Amino acid sequence: MSDWLHSLPLAWMAVLVFGFVYLLTAAIHMGVNFLAIRGGARSFKAVSPGMLPPLGIIFGLFVAFTAAQVWNDNQSANAIVDREASALKSVVIFAASLPADAEARLRALIRTYAEEAATREWPVMAKREATLGVTPQPLAEALKLTLALAPANQGQETAQRKIVDALETAFDARRQRIILSRSQVNLVKWACLLLQAACALLAIALVHCDDRRASAITMGLFATGVAASVLLIAAHDRPFIGELAVGPEALLQALPTAQ
């Protein structure tokens, strides 16, 4: 699905998804009834109702298969951002053991990195255009500054080592965050999911072609389930875009004292 749909507010996304599914359902319903009136009812009634459970089960499996990827991506995105925020917070904490000028410089660099990630990287990740080719300068400078320090005591030496480890963790978390920002449910999965839903709706219409009201009610119920499933997946499809996206708040909240 395109970026414009994922960037819509959840309410508008729901309107479009439910509207599309209901229009598809109405088209199938009217098409089958039109053909039934013109002599196709006898052939349609020969379709076994026993087809409906397998079609519904297959659709459910498609939903579960697709949703599994979406849930894993969102859980991973949250975990990665939390790990990155925790690493930055560790740098700020251990920096307190360093000389005052080094501590102030490190806090400023970490603050700059978090703000740039929130204001620059997140919008680019939402478009799936973020790359690993650009090294974040604040993190690079923080690492250079830390490695250039000459510890005056064992405490500063330990803090220096911990800060380097935390910065490496932040680098790795950022790399994984950018890679994950390109994740999405591909077109083949969407096509198979919608095609299976259309097949189930068509089978319902054929089985109930002699009773329009029963057909409309049954198809409407199934269509509502289809639309709800599609909306649930689409709303979480891209981890860093949309109303339910993973945001940079954790990075900023982890740095309340890094001024």
**Terminal-residue alpha carbon distance, the chain:** 41
Q: Could you tell me if 128 and 184 are in contact, meaning their C-beta atoms sit under 8 angstroms apart? A: yes
For residue 252, give the 3-state DSSP assignment: helix
Q: Could you tell me if 230 and 17 are in contact, meaning their C-beta atoms sit under 8 angstroms apart? A: yes
Q: What would the mean pLDDT of 40-59 be, rounded to a whole number?
A: 86
Q: Which own/partner contact pairs does 215-219 have at CB distance under 8 Å and 24+ positions apart?
A: 215/29, 215/32, 215/33, 216/29, 219/25, 219/28, 219/29
Give the chain's mean pLDDT: 91
Specify the pLDDT at position 259: 46
For residue 162, give both structure tokens. Answer: 């911990």
For the cut 90, the answer to whether the pLDDT of residue 162 exceeds it is yes
Domain residue ranges of the chain, discontinuous segments joined by +: 3-253
The angle subtended at Cα 179 by Cα 174 and Cα 184, nearest 5°, is 135
Total count of residues recorded for the chain? 259
For the cut 60, the answer to whether the pLDDT of residue 256 exceeds it is no
pLDDT digits (tens, 9 = 90+) for 202-247: 999 999 888 889 999 999 999 999 999 999 999 999 999 988 899 9
Concatenated DSSP letters of 164-211:
HHHHHHHHHHHHHHHHHTT----HHHHHHHHHHHHHHHHHHHHHTTT-
For the cut 80, the answer to whether the pLDDT of residue 3 exceeds it is no
Please state which of the ranges 40-44, 144-148, 156-160 shows the lowest mean pLDDT. 40-44
Cα 152 to Cα 26, 90, 102, 160: the distances in Å are: 77, 20, 13, 11
> What share of the chain has pLDDT > 70, as a percent?
98
Closest by CA position to 135, among listed 193, 174, 190, 187? 174
pLDDT digits (tens, 9 = 90+) for 59-99: 999 999 999 999 999 999 999 999 999 999 999 999 999 99
Q: Could you tell me if 236 and 244 are in contact, meaning their C-beta atoms sit under 8 angstroms apart? A: yes
Q: What would the mean pLDDT of 163-173 be, rounded to a whole number?
A: 95
Specify the pLDDT at position 2: 67
Q: How confident is the model at residue 8 (pLDDT cuts 50, 70, 90)?
A: confident
Give CA–CA dist 59/197, Å, rounded.
Answer: 6
> What share of the chain has pLDDT > 90, as a percent?
69
Q: What would the mean pLDDT of 18-29 be, rounded to a whole number?
A: 96
For the cut 70, the answer to whether the pLDDT of residue 110 exceeds it is yes
